Amino acid sequence: MTEKNIPETSEEKKSLNFIEQIVEEDLKTGKHKEIITRFPPEPNGYLHIGHAKSIILNFGLGEKYKGKTNLRFDDTNPVKEDVEYVDSILEDVQWLGYKWHGDVHYASDYFEQLYEWAVKLIKSGFAYVDDQSGEEISATRGTPTKPGIESPFRNRSVEENTDLFERMRKGEFKDGEKVLRAKIDMSSPNMHMRDPVMYRIKHAEHHRTGNKWCIYPMYDFTHGQSDYIEGITHSICTLEFENHRPLYDWFLDRIYEEGKTRPRQIEFARLNLSYTVMSKRKLAELVEKKYVSGWDDPRMPTISGLRRRGYTPEALKIFAEKVGVAKRENIIDVGLLEFSIREHLNKIAQRVMTILNPLKVTITNYPEEREEFLSAVNNPEDESMGSRQVPFSRTLYIEKDDFKEEAGRKFFRLKLGGEVRLRYAYFIKCNEVIKDANGNITELLCTYDPLSKGGKSPDGRKVKGTLHWVSAKHSVDVNVRLYDRLFSDESPDGHKDKDFTEFINSDSLTILENCKAEPYIKNAKPGDRFQFERLGYFCVDKDSTGNKLIFNRTVSLRDSWKIK
C-alpha cells in the first residue's frame, strides 16, 4: 500500500478540556495509576439535564481513561431525602447507558467512620461542641468583610467535648441544642473556614439508617471523606463549591494517611439552558402548581421529561460533547439541544406519513373501489432499514397547511389549478374546492396523472412541491401532542424584579385529536420513535391505550421556509 504517511497530526487529536488535561497529567506523572470518579447526587429530587452533563462527564472520564466511576448518594440530611428519589436516579443513570463500579454507595454507609474521625478531631483539639443557638452562631459568624466572633464554648476541654459529643449521639439533647464545630479561624476571609458546623442534631428517621442516628454530618464533613474512603482520585463538582475546597482539604489533611489515594476537588461550570429553569426548587414549583403534568412532563428539562419527550441517551451525549466543560458561566442555546436530537434521530428514525390537520382530497379520476400499495423508503439515511408498502386510494387526507386557494410563487404546495407530487404516489392537480356554509374548505377535488406512479413524471415535467398524505380508509386515528418552550423568556429566572413564573408560556402544549397516520404505525409501542415526514420527530407516549396511540413531538424538522 502506498498510503501517504500523513504525520500524526492527521489523527486530528481533539483538544482536551481542562479536567481531561489534569487527568492525563496525573496519569502521565504516575500520581495515579488508575482514576476513579464519582457521581454523588443527594436523593432529594429528580435529575435534570444539568445532572446529565455531570453524569456524562464523570462516567465519560472513567470510560475514556479506563478507570472506574462510582455512584454515591449523598444522603446526610434525612428530612429532605427519600427512596423514591434514589430509585428515579438509578433509573436515569442506567437509561443514559452507564454502569457504576461495584455496588451503589451511600454516604450514610460511612456514618460510623465519620463519627470516629470526628472524635479524632476532638481529641486533637480541632473540634468542639458549641451550645450556641443557630441564631447566635449565625450572628457571630461575621460577614464577608467583617471577621466573626469566637464562641464562648470554643475552648472547652477535650474531655468535656468528648463527653458532650458522645451524649449528642446518645440522644440526650434536642434538635438544635448543640452542634459539633471545627476549630479553624473565625476571622478567615473565607466564610467556610469560620468554625464550620460538622454535626447537627436531627431526631428524624433516615431512609436507610432509620433511627440509628440522631446526629448527622454536614456536607463539608462528609463529602471529601467519602471520596477518600472510596479511593476517588478526581472529585468533580460545580463552581459554587470552589470556596469549599480549602475546607475539603483541611479535613483531609487531618485524617489522611500516607500512601493512600488523596482525592482532589475540581470545579466546573454547571449547565444552564435558555428558555427553561434548572433549579430543583423552581422545577418543583412547576409541578406543584400544575404548570406541568409532573416531573416527567415532556416540557421539563428533567432526564425523565426528556426521555418521555423522545430524546435518546446518544443525543444527550452529543449535546454534552458540544457544550464542553469549562469554568465560565454559560447559558446554552436550547437550539443546540434540538440540533443534537435531530442529528441522532435523522440517522435512526423510521419515516412514516401522518396528517396532523387533515383535509379531505378526492381523486375524481381514480376508480371508486381501487386500492394499490406503493413503495416508500423507511429511512433515506439508512438503506438497511428497507422500504414498506403504503396504501393509496381514491379518498386521501393531506395537511390543511399544504393547500391554499391562491398563493404566490414561493408557495410550493397545492393551490387551485396547481399540481404537486404526493410522495411515493402520483402527481395530482387541484380542480375544485368545496366549502361549507361558513366558507371553510372541507374538501378538494383533484385528478391524478396515472403515468406519474411512484412520483416520477414520464414527460419530465417538474413540480416544486411534494406532499405527504394518507389514504382515508386505511388510516389510523392518533392523538398528537405538540410542545413549545415552557417559557417565553430566554432566561426566566434571570430577572431580579420578576418571578420566573411570569414568563411561563401559556401556549406550550397543543393537543391534536384528529390525526391520521398510515397503517404502518399500528403496532407501535410506548417509546417508539418515528419521523413524521415533513413534520418532525415523534415518539409514542406512555398514555397511549390499546385503541389510541398518543404521540409526543420530540422536535420539529428544521424549517428554512417560514410561513408568514
Partner RNA sequence: UGACCCAUGGUGUAAUGGUAACACAGAUGGUUUUGGUCCAUCCGUUCUAGGUUCGAGUCCUGGUGGGUCAGCCA
> What positions carry a catalytic annotation?
42, 270, 280
- Planar angle of CA 474, 477, 479, nearest 5 degrees: 155
Residue 4 Cβ vs RNA, minimum distance, rounded to whole Å: 19
Q: How far apart are CA 117 and CA 560, in angstroms?
A: 63
Long-range pairs for 210-214 at CB < 8 Å and ≥24 separation? 212/111, 213/111, 213/169, 214/168, 214/169, 214/171
Shortest Cβ distance from residue 235 to RNA (Å)? 13
How many residues would you count in the chain?
Answer: 564
Taking the least distance from each CB to RNA, the nearer of 35 and 292 is 35
Q: Do strands 371-377 and 358-363 pair parallel, antiparallel, or not at all (unpaired)?
A: unpaired
Which string of x and - marks every residue 121-160 that binds RNA (by CB under 7 A)?
-----------xxx--xx--x-xxx---------------
Check residue 16 for interaction with RNA (CB under 7 A): yes
CA dihedral (328, 284, 527, 94) positive or negative: positive
Cα-based angle 188, 189, 193 (whole degrees, multiple of 5) = 45
Closest distance between RNA and the C-beta of residue 334, in Å?
Answer: 9
How many residues of this chain bind RNA (CB under 7 A)? 87
- Residue 36: which H helix or E strand, with range? strand 36-39
Report the residue number, 190 or 501, with the smaller CB distance to RNA.
190
Distances (CA, A) of 338 to 197, 306, 466, 486: 44, 11, 25, 14
CB of 258 to RNA, least distance (A): 27
Question: Hey, which residues between 165 and 204 contact RNA (CB under 7 A)?
Answer: 175-179, 189-192, 196-197, 200-202
Q: Kindly report the backbone phi and psi dihedral angles of residue 509, in degrees, each rounded to the nearest multiple of 5, phi listed first.
A: -130, 130
CB 223 within 8 A of CB 74: yes
372 strand-pairing partners: 392
Pattern 271-300, RNA, x by CB under 7 A:
------------------------------
The residue range among 49-57, 96-104, 338-346, 508-516 that interacts with RNA, by the rule CB under 7 A, is 338-346
Asked if 216 is part of the footprint of RNA (rule: CB under 7 A), the reply reads yes
**Pairwise CA distance, residues 117 & 126, whole Å:** 11
Q: What x/- string results for residues 222 through 261 when contact with RNA is judged by CB under 7 A?
A: -x---------------xxxxxx-----------------
Q: Does 465 bind RNA (CB under 7 A)?
A: yes
CB neighbours of 204 closer than 8 A, spacing ≥ 6?
A: 78, 79, 214
What is the per-residue binding string for RNA in 363-382, x denoting contact by CB under 7 A?
Answer: ----------------xxx-
In the complex, the smallest distance separating the C-beta of residue 314 from RNA, rounded to whole angstroms, is: 15
Instruction: Lay out the site mask for RNA across 390-429 (x = CB under 7 A, - = otherwise).
Output: --------------------xxxx-------x-xx-----
Q: Which stretch binds RNA (CB under 7 A): 150-158, 289-297, 323-331, 365-373?
A: 323-331
Q: Binder to RNA among 35, 323, 446, 486 (CB under 7 A)?
A: 323
